[in-house]
Structure 1
């Protein structure tokens, strides 16, 4: 190889290109010049009936000093173009060689006149005469070393500032204070944190004291660092998305405190570690909350995330159930599915539960009145500190306010009033008898006193005290990120079983609240045991009926029943052919025959029957390296797990948005808003990126020309 590198033959220059040789080897090749071996090119041709014989002449080397030849290929080449091969060069002169001697003189003249040949000839002539690499001296090397040392220092300082920005972002703290001057007593959390880090780092402390070109604490630097952090995080998330087998989107829109309509986009997928991820991607400003506006924003963003050859990866879309989402012909879900055909629509199941309870609490008059009366307890005490002091002294427990966001009741209010009924009676009696309160307060306290003593109110209080814990448990389970259709079916079955038990116990419950005949005669409007049981039965039937209707799985989610472990034994006896066919209609990308074979084997094996939910079954396959054997089942499991059952993550994103808008600046660009939101919501992702600061620094250094040195020299 060493002799080859000193060789100037055409064969040597093709096998070991000039650019890959050391400087001294390049100089040696130039000194030797073009290789001009003896070659024999004889070409017979016929023109107008006459025979011609053309042959190569060595005199051509004298007239064309740039010519070189290859004895093995028996062809002619251009020496400068062979050395400095550039795009646009004629392959005949640098790769195959010239063997056709017809009009050879014209070919050489035409090649000499090309700009590429002239540029390569100039580069060859100037090579070695003005080359810094040949003139490196100790002073130059010292200069490079000092430059790189300064770059090390600047990058260290920038890394510390990046850490401070990350800290403030993770805890949603304002980056800028009201007054950031040197004499300010309250320069803001970020400046205070930088000063604290500087007290522990002598390099940063010295920099802050002496820096004149780049200090790193300005508003401009903060914004540029936020842009770079957002870019690094998005690159990481997009990389994970494109390597995942399937993805789902969750979207929700709201009007934030600055009256700007915002659409949040959350993407759900299974990462390489087989964990379910729900990544916040961005807040998108909307001109209006119409189906066209939302669909356009979503499709525009999805096109930048998924390339055209990965459109089939999007297997579901989940929204909060707004009216614009539900159109079968023109809604958002239909517009998205027209482009992404596998993106089946899933209604948020936590929102479905809200609708069920709204139906119960608003469409049954007696129940609606009960919750209206219940809300009055917290309203009564919240309007006066004097009333609250009596409540704290007697009951020692504050009444939670009714929720106006989710549904028209609050389970904590039910539980609090039920558990502290006797204390509340004493509290209202104290207010009525103390003589320290105004007539309005005494009158209202008397009303609440009579309400607590009312048999009907007490009955509904007892009834919903039994129902609400099950609603709370179901709602909390629907907020989990790892739920899947199989899991939802299981918890819904458990919920309905518990409501049925309460329904069956109603005769006993009504008997406990039956008043005497004389009491009923005095209070003709008081409900009797039969009336109470009728209303309570209607409450339970409404919950059960709407739960069955709203939580019934749509066509594409019937596939979840194929992997419902408690039915494996039943399926072993009779294979669920109809569910399999429906699954294939929803997901034609699966191999039906192989999936059926795999499922039949799973149904016949007792070991799989103990798995509770799709996630447990998926982890079993992946933990035992069975993903290749059960490839279609694993693909179906990934689809089920990736399909979101709730948009709870979207609501969490809006909570973060509200805090950011409230506690940080009132005016900020959309990119900076996304960066500020990304830092707290994806702080765990930042921790898993080992070279996060380095990647941010590289982007920061390449944004524009900077007076401070951040790029190394070699």
Structure 2
């Protein structure tokens, strides 16, 4: 098949490629517009078309365009060069913005101030660092110049791009952490519940593992974020943990330890203290609920308080004089 012919299998027709490129809308030809599938007479039609003046002119234009492309002398060359320069400029600008975001986030510094306008007072650490870089960096100098002269409307220094970059960096860092956890296989979980500024319960999740991804093997702890929890019971917290591990594609069967509020269960004193505090706090909680009852009478409340005080004395006596009874309770549990 001639190089100027193209066959479209979906239409089962052939077309003249150079006519498709340089066709004159005022002149209609079957090979350029409708295509040919008269396979019985196609040879004769191609000969007639190939010998036409319009086809020869279009072929010459095609050949000349190929030569210009090879020598980079097309009319759009300067435009393409400008596009490439702008693309590289924006790449370098974003590179510097990303490094500023990384630095502030790594050091847990606030990004924004009272406003988001460059070269104004109290505009925050992020814009202050951009201004500082522009003092000696040609790329950022040019970017700031375009902003001040209003040559560009989108400067990508606002809070939206900052938040977007933070989320992107967070996602990439989390991928690296998950990969380290999968390589080490076994890990422990550190959980802690607290309330945020809107008084919603949230649980921080930290995973600890032996990092063997580098030549220096060491124990590492990785903070993977906060989980909003509605049910703070043991069952509710466990279900939140299971969902979080499933989302991270980590196997819960590989957990080899659970820590809460940075406590360490590694000695007798700690275990004994847990038993003592359980008894004390459980009694306090029971009395507190009884005192809050709507039908509570003052004489009954006094009796509850006396009983609570007596219970505390009993616990104190057991701890000081007969700790083996507390140990026996520990063994039973």
Following superposition, the deviation at residue 181 of structure 1 comes to 3.6
**Structure-1 residue corresponding to 2:141:** 205
- Summarize the Cα distance change of 1:362–1:262 in structure 2 as closer, same or farther, 3 Å threshold: closer
- Maintained 8 Å contact 1:178/1:187: yes
Following superposition, the deviation at residue 147 of structure 1 comes to 1.9
- Summarize the Cα distance change of 1:272–1:206 in structure 2 as closer, same or farther, 3 Å threshold: same
**Structure-2 residue corresponding to 1:149:** 85
Query: Where in structure 2 are the equivalents of 1:255-404 lying within 5 Å?
Result: 255-269=195-209, 270-273=211-214, 274-306=217-249, 312=253, 314-320=254-260, 348-349=264-265, 356=272
Secondary structure of 2:75 counterpart: helix
- Maintained 8 Å contact 2:201/2:228: yes
Q: State the alpha-carbon separation in 2 of the partners of residues 172 and 140 from structure 1.
A: 48
Pick 1 or 2: higher relative contact order, CA cutoff 8 A, min separation 6.
Answer: 1
- Maintained 8 Å contact 1:318/1:348: no
Q: State the alpha-carbon separation in 2 of the partners of residues 175 and 290 from structure 1.
A: 37
**Structure-2 residue corresponding to 1:118:** 10
Secondary structure of 1:284 counterpart: strand
- Maintained 8 Å contact 1:164/1:190: yes
Q: State the alpha-carbon separation in 1 of the partners of residues 87 and 101 from structure 2.
A: 21
Give CA-to-partner distance per residue, 1:174-219, whole Å, 9 cap, x none. Answer: 1110233457422222221221122131210221221323322211
Match of 2:157 among 203, 214, 217: 217
Q: State the alpha-carbon separation in 2 of the partners of residues 147 and 351 from structure 1.
A: 68
Larger helix share, 1 or 2: 1
Q: State the alpha-carbon separation in 1 of the partners of residues 176 and 153 from structure 2.
A: 32
Contiguous gaps of at least 5 residues in structure 1: 1-7, 9-26, 34-65, 67-79, 81-116, 323-346, 365-534, 553-714
**Structure-2 residue corresponding to 1:637:** none
**Structure-2 residue corresponding to 1:139:** 75
Query: Where in structure 2 are the equivalents of 1:571-590 lying within 5 Å?
Result: none
- Summarize the Cα distance change of 1:221–1:294 in structure 2 as closer, same or farther, 3 Å threshold: same
Q: Does 1:168 align with 2:104?
A: yes
- Maintained 8 Å contact 1:267/1:279: yes
- Summarize the Cα distance change of 1:149–1:250 in structure 2 as closer, same or farther, 3 Å threshold: same
Q: State the alpha-carbon separation in 2 of the partners of residues 226 and 300 from structure 1.
A: 24
Larger strand share, 1 or 2: 2
Q: State the alpha-carbon separation in 2 of the partners of residues 549 and 159 from structure 1.
A: 62
**Structure-1 residue corresponding to 2:171:** 231
Following superposition, the deviation at residue 360 of structure 1 comes to 8.1
- Summarize the Cα distance change of 1:198–1:542 in structure 2 as closer, same or farther, 3 Å threshold: farther
Q: State the alpha-carbon separation in 2 of the partners of residues 155 and 351 from structure 1.
A: 57
Q: State the alpha-carbon separation in 2 of the partners of residues 359 and 271 from structure 1.
A: 38
- Maintained 8 Å contact 1:321/1:351: no
Following superposition, the deviation at residue 305 of structure 1 comes to 1.8
Q: State the alpha-carbon separation in 1 of the partners of residues 323 and 94 from structure 2.
A: 61
Secondary structure of 1:179 counterpart: coil
**Structure-1 residue corresponding to 2:44:** none
Following superposition, the deviation at residue 237 of structure 1 comes to 2.1
Q: State the alpha-carbon separation in 2 of the partners of residues 127 and 261 from structure 1.
A: 67
- Summarize the Cα distance change of 1:272–1:130 in structure 2 as closer, same or farther, 3 Å threshold: farther
Q: State the alpha-carbon separation in 2 of the partners of residues 189 and 352 from structure 1.
A: 50
Contiguous gaps of at least 5 residues in structure 2: 22-61, 281-316
Q: State the alpha-carbon separation in 2 of the partners of residues 192 and 149 from structure 1.
A: 27
- Over the aligned positions, Cα root-mean-square deviation in angstroms equals 4.3
Q: State the alpha-carbon separation in 2 of the partners of residues 352 and 207 from structure 1.
A: 64
Secondary structure of 2:153 counterpart: coil
Secondary structure of 1:139 counterpart: coil
- Maintained 8 Å contact 1:320/1:351: no
**Structure-1 residue corresponding to 2:114:** 178
- Maintained 8 Å contact 2:208/2:222: yes
- Equivalenced residue count is 240
TM-score under structure 1 normalisation? 0.29
TM-score under structure 2 normalisation? 0.57
Match of 1:192 among 119, 128, 138: 128
Secondary structure of 1:224 counterpart: helix
Following superposition, the deviation at residue 318 of structure 1 comes to 0.8
Give CA-to-partner distance per residue, 1:485-525, whole Å, 9 cap, x none. Answer: xxxxxxxxxxxxxxxxxxxxxxxxxxxxxxxxxxxxxxxxx
Following superposition, the deviation at residue 357 of structure 1 comes to 5.3
Q: State the alpha-carbon separation in 2 of the partners of residues 148 and 351 from structure 1.
A: 66
Following superposition, the deviation at residue 321 of structure 1 comes to 8.0
